[in-house]
Structure 1
């Protein structure tokens, strides 16, 4: 690592410290956000007094003409989250932490959560900017992958470990080969 890279890391760290302290909340509640930003995925944190979860959502913008695009990441940080409503059931495979294999779990298709504070960060790799703000809304409806992620992290806060049916309880079924033709245009 050269001196320029070390300076860039220090500069980024100072910005990070300043942005976190600007929200006037316990700094450790931002740990899920920082982990989501740096390592990807959704994360949770709990102490005896409080808890927080970060839930990531992604939107890809792609220009067919230029054949270029980028994926905008939205990271929601919920401080003291609470479920208002869940709807639907989606069965899915998830892997978590030190578990070796994925497990079958049931998650809601949509989840409405409220929190003491909801902070939204938008990470735009196209312009290399991280825009972060506290939302005035204290409840958010999440659908699909962000809802599954939120339910997963809430299960961590509630139970510690994720409980599911191990993959080895599945059964392989071999089907005969099929002649599949694709129409070429």
Structure 2
């Protein structure tokens, strides 16, 4: 690794610590957000005193005329999340990082989550900026992929392990 890369990592880490401490919340609850930023996906964290999940939503903005665009990532960090409402049933294959294969699970299509605090990080790769702030709302409505991801992470918090029907229970049809 080059010296300039190491210095950039130190600078980024210092900015990260400063912004996280500005929220006045124990820093370990930010782990799902940091993992989502650095590794992608949605994540969960549980300790005796608090729980948190990070749920990622993406929107691609594309200019047909210029043939260029970017994908904005919005990562919601829910601190002490609770499900207020779930609606619908979607059969889907998911793979959890702890398992080698995908499994069939049933997830809600829509979900309303409430949390003690909600932090939103918007990652704009076009500008190379991460905008992060606590939002006023204490409940958020999710649908589609963000709802599936939230249900998956909440299952981790409640049951520890996500369980579904392994892929080898499917049959090939020629």
TM over 0.5: yes
Instruction: State the TM-score bracket (shorter-chain normalisation).
Output: over 0.9
Q: After superposition, what is the alpha-carbon deviation per residue over 1:102-138, rounded to whole angstroms, capped at 9, x for unaligned?
A: 0000000011000000000000000000000101000
Bigger-Rg structure (1/2): 1
- C-alpha deviation, 1:88, in angstroms: 0.3
* Alignment partners' CA distance in 2, 1:99 and 1:10: 33
What aligned pairs does 1:18-37 form with structure 2 within 5 A after superposition?
Answer: 18-37=18-37
What aligned pairs does 1:138-153 form with structure 2 within 5 A after superposition?
Answer: 138-153=138-153
What aligned pairs does 1:76-115 form with structure 2 within 5 A after superposition?
Answer: 76-115=76-115
Q: Secondary structure at the match of 1:173?
A: coil
* Alignment partners' CA distance in 1, 2:97 and 2:41: 12
Q: After superposition, what is the alpha-carbon deviation per residue over 1:14-41, rounded to whole angstroms, capped at 9, x for unaligned?
A: 0000010000001000000000000000
- C-alpha deviation, 1:98, in angstroms: 2.4
- C-alpha deviation, 1:5, in angstroms: 1.2
> How does the TM-score come out when normalised to structure 1?
0.93
* Alignment partners' CA distance in 2, 1:110 and 1:88: 7
Q: After superposition, what is the alpha-carbon deviation per residue over 1:80-107, rounded to whole angstroms, capped at 9, x for unaligned?
A: 0000000000000000022111000000
* Alignment partners' CA distance in 2, 1:68 and 1:162: 38
Does residue 15 of structure 2 align to residue 48 of structure 1? no
- C-alpha deviation, 1:170, in angstroms: 0.5
* Alignment partners' CA distance in 2, 1:82 and 1:36: 20
* Alignment partners' CA distance in 2, 1:98 and 1:152: 13
Query: Unaligned stretches of 5+ in structure 2?
Result: none
Residue of structure 1 in register with 2:116 after alignment: 116
* Alignment partners' CA distance in 2, 1:21 and 1:145: 30
- C-alpha deviation, 1:154, in angstroms: 0.0
Query: Unaligned stretches of 5+ in structure 1?
Result: 175-185
* Alignment partners' CA distance in 2, 1:50 and 1:9: 29
* Alignment partners' CA distance in 1, 2:98 and 2:109: 26
* Alignment partners' CA distance in 1, 2:126 and 2:92: 32
